């Protein structure tokens, strides 16, 4: 199912980018994708952090039975808005590799594209891991770090 989802995301990004390029006769000089405004390292860190936050919030409002489901959209939307305000000037706040790959492929502009592939993937993996670490442990954090029981709670049962 995941490959189908990834394919649909990429196809949508490519088609949207192609449509924009054809409708507005965009040239590579007027690139509409995301590129770092400063250094690739700063953009990478920004993408990791905002993707982490987005995944953490999505995990909390969509998978936790204690969450109020009717407010999930507001929580996710506010997280995206804050991410864009904070990281937009640094990296463009992509948070999704497909969002950056589509314009890059259509326009042929691949400057630091790795930032927008590695950053969001690393961020969402870390966000999901940390959320699961917090959610699936039933002891206070101070007890977990003393006994390292959190490692047993996420390892496969023998």
The answer to whether 57 touches 76, Cβ cutoff 8 Å, is: yes
Report the Cα 148 to chain-centroid distance in Å. Answer: 29
pLDDT in tens, 10-30: 999 999 999 999 999 888 778
Where residue 114 falls among pLDDT bands split at 50, 70, 90? very high
Residue 116 is part of which domain span?
2-154
The answer to whether 55 touches 129, Cβ cutoff 8 Å, is: no
Residues 6+ apart with CB under 8 A from 97: 116, 117, 120, 121
Number of compact structural domains in the chain:
1
Instruction: Give the CATH number of the domain where residue 40 resides.
Output: 1.20.1080.10
pLDDT in tens, 69-89: 788 899 999 999 999 999 999
């Amino acid at each position: 199912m995941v490959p189908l989802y990834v394919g649909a995301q990429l196809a949508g990004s490519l088609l949207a980018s192609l449509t924009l390029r054809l409708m507005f006769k965009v040239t590579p000089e007027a690139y509409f994708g995301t590129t770092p405004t400063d250094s690739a390292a700063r953009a990478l860190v920004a993408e990791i952090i905002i993707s982490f936050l987005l995944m953490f919030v999505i995990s909390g409002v969509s998978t936790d039975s204690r969450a109020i489901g009717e407010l999930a959209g507001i929580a996710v939307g506010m997280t995206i808005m804050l991410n864009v305000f904070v990281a937009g000037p640094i990296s463009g706040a992509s948070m999704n590799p497909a969002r950056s790959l589509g314009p890059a492929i259509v326009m042929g502009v691949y400057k630091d594209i790795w930032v927008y592939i590695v950053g969001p993937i690393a961020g969402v993996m870390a966000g999901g891991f940390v959320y699961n670490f917090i959610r699936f442990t039933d002891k206070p954090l101070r007890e977990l770090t003393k006994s390292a029981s959190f490692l047993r709670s996420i390892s496969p049962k023998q």
